[in-house]
Chains A and B, each alone.
Chain A
């Protein structure tokens, strides 16, 4: 048993409000520097315009910071919110928490959507959102206790470093006989030493009698958390039922939730089988379509990809019904039982690993040239334990390996580490170093943008080559999909508000495989509609997977099958049933549009959010090297001849790489033009005052930013 001490620094007793139609109607503010605790009201305007979840986070963060706030300033604020539907147990995917803060990776606003029980427990305890501001010179634990109606800030000593042991210890500490009533948010030592720290959100798995985890991974939110001196935030709550949100129309909620659950139970076994294999089904599919990143996004396919796909992991996963929120029939949160790591502090011990999911498999497997499923499980385990984002770690190390193989860096820079593609021990050694802030791992932990600077300035590496192959945009590492043959998805990554993460838009199949959007205008329409609808899930406390990863059997008969309109109609009913606010399916887009534009304007306020910030490395657009070109020569030669009408007779591969690049970069610029126009933005990517007015976000301070932005 770990010896630890929690010394109470500040406490506030409060009277828990009744939830009304999905809202607690107040938020919680904790300043851990003072320390100070306060309760703030939620206004009707907040609910009308910002809805909840990410919308509330952004509004609170906007009030908390100034244009000059940097990620490690005390006024930067970690905001965590559920949403009006968050915590509904009968509707699949309704337990999400959304986290936002200014990111150490991008310097701008970051948001991340995560499972686990924290967001719903926070709301049922009486708070639609939590703001944590300030910095503490000692480790602190914040307790939001909805059962005893008190908030406490503790000084903590002696608590474990790694996320697994820490969350288990705190769950035991506060459970009072009901561990299922506890959710812990924490990070780990990796967040202290890198800019890619993630947050682990827990729930208690009653069947296995253990704490389980999901991660708010992107953009270093865990790094902000650690920099503030927050060891953990704990929420404590009792039972949950359909009544917990006090829905406006319980019968409709029951009915639509039942229909959705039944559909998933019936169709998932016929479709993606996520209740058995999670998102690992994507590995063989992406590989078949040349979309699985291998060797730092050079290629999209590898003959050994079958070794790390669903057929392998279905036998490695511990069987069970694994939802990250109560009653979710998608149940995709699988894990590996009795895994024995070969390296690190847990070497030789049996551990439970939450994951891996597709992104971790592609990022920490194929993208590193590794096709060993157990290596990926070990990377997954240590990233979680250290509080590191597996996507940033995978994409970051892939960049390092390519630099190593190209001779841009060598063993004299890596302290003797051989970092060729496929070197499993080298990759794991780097992860351990990153967590401890030691050796070459300390540099890798600064992310690709940071590495490019160090490699160029200290090691003399060619910055132009690194710009082409370093898979980051806005300072955030790319998530794990190849985009070379999908212009729409290049835009989906490049024009994503926070950086290249696919939660805004995943258009590759619609664009590349089905050719649903051949014109720039059609691509722009998709890059308006899909990012906005995907945003809506984060306003409401929802997961997007049930929307379009299980598709109705008659979906093809819909006018726009890509939108899965039957489910959107159900979502509109669901929203109305909880909040009492009558909405049509098209209203959901308008709700999101307000928040989406507000986030773009927030970026502007912090010095970002223009066309120049929406650029992507050429590796995301096309072949950087002759090796890449010649590996798919028939495809590229064909495009040059047929699409661009170029006579390629007698031209070298180097010349053809250059010609293709010129065409593809021109296309991306044209796409930006079309998207900005469709979104109601200027040609520089700035929302117009008319757009702000239409969306009712024309607050004086917003108009000030727009005026200053030209």
Chain B
């Protein structure tokens, strides 16, 4: 089990960020998420494996300074 934006979410061994996002409802354009306080960016979504009990926040948009 992980938490996603503060709510419980099911977890599977080896789950990547891409797989997590593909499982969400609706359209999304997330380029960055935060996993246990660290950013993971889109170039790494396919390879980054989410650990169990991770605390994840989806960063809606990156808009610069």
Interface membership of chain A positions 550-567, coded 1 if the CB is closer than 8 angstroms to chain B and 0 otherwise: 010101110001101000
Are A551 and B60 in contact (CB-based, < 8 A)?
A: yes
Closest beta carbon of chain A to B38's beta carbon, Å = 7
Are B59 and A272 in contact (CB-based, < 8 A)?
A: yes
Instruction: Say yes or no: A271-B29 contact (C-beta < 8 A), given A284-B39, A502-B64.
Output: no
Are A509 and B61 in contact (CB-based, < 8 A)?
A: yes
Collect the chain B residues with CB atoms within 8 Å of residue A311's CB. 37-38
Task: Give Cα A564 to B63, complex, Å.
Answer: 11
Collect the chain B residues with CB atoms within 8 Å of residue A557's CB. 26
Are A285 and B32 in contact (CB-based, < 8 A)?
A: yes
Closest beta carbon of chain A to B2's beta carbon, Å = 15
Task: Give Cα A562 to B63, complex, Å.
Answer: 9
Confirm or deny: B6 has a beta carbon within 8 angstroms of a beta carbon on chain A.
Answer: yes
Collect the chain B residues with CB atoms within 8 Å of residue A285's CB. 32, 39, 41, 62
**Closest residue of chain B to A509, judged by CB?**
B62
Instruction: Say yes or no: A506-B65 contact (C-beta < 8 A), given A288-B41, A289-B43.
Output: yes
Closest beta carbon of chain B to A476's beta carbon, Å = 16
Are B41 and A271 in contact (CB-based, < 8 A)?
A: no
Choose one: B28, B38, B65; the contact of A556 (CB below 8 Å).
B28
Interface membership of chain B positions 5-37, coded 1 if the CB is closer than 8 angstroms to chain A and 0 otherwise: 110000000000000000000111101100001
Are A506 and B42 in contact (CB-based, < 8 A)?
A: no
Most A CB contacts (10 A, CB to CB) among B28, B29, B59, B63 go to B63
Task: Give Cα A284 to B34, complex, Å.
Answer: 11
Task: Give Cα A555 to B41, complex, Å.
Answer: 20
Collect the chain A residues with CB atoms within 8 Å of residue B65's CB. 279, 282, 357-359, 479, 481, 502-503, 506
Task: Give Cα A562 to B29, complex, Å.
Answer: 10
Are A548 and B61 in contact (CB-based, < 8 A)?
A: yes
**Closest residue of chain B to A310, judged by CB?**
B39
Instruction: Say yes or no: A556-B29 contact (C-beta < 8 A), given A270-B6, A359-B65, A502-B65.
Output: yes
Confirm or deny: A281 has a beta carbon within 8 angstroms of a beta carbon on chain B.
Answer: yes
Task: Give Cα A509 to B44, complex, Å.
Answer: 16
Instruction: Say yes or no: A555-B60 contact (C-beta < 8 A), given A270-B5, A288-B44, A514-B29.
Output: yes
**Closest residue of chain A to B41, judged by CB?**
A288
Most B CB contacts (10 A, CB to CB) among A272, A281, A557, A562 go to A272
Choose one: A288, A359, A503, A513; the contact of B39 (CB below 8 Å).
A288
Collect the chain B residues with CB atoms within 8 Å of residue A513's CB. 31, 42, 62
Collect the chain B residues with CB atoms within 8 Å of residue A357's CB. 65
**Closest residue of chain A to B38, judged by CB?**
A311
Collect the chain B residues with CB atoms within 8 Å of residue A271's CB. 57, 59-60
Instruction: Say yes or no: A506-B27 contact (C-beta < 8 A), given A272-B59, A288-B44.
Output: no
A:468-489 near B, CB below 8 Å: 479, 481
Task: Give Cα A169 to B65, complex, Å.
Answer: 32
Task: Give Cα A357 to B64, complex, Å.
Answer: 12
Are A561 and B59 in contact (CB-based, < 8 A)?
A: no
Closest beta carbon of chain A to B6's beta carbon, Å = 7
Task: Give Cα A285 to B63, complex, Å.
Answer: 11
The residues of B with any CB-CB pair to A shorter than 8 Å are 5-6, 26-29, 31-32, 37-39, 41-44, 57, 59-65
21 contacts between A and B (CB under 8 A): A270-B5, A270-B6, A270-B57, A271-B60, A282-B65, A285-B32, A285-B39, A285-B41, A288-B39, A289-B31, A357-B65, A479-B65, A502-B65, A503-B65, A506-B65, A508-B64, A509-B64, A514-B29, A551-B61, A556-B26, A561-B61
7 closest pairs, A vs B, by CB?
A506-B64, A288-B41, A551-B60, A548-B63, A270-B57, A509-B62, A513-B31
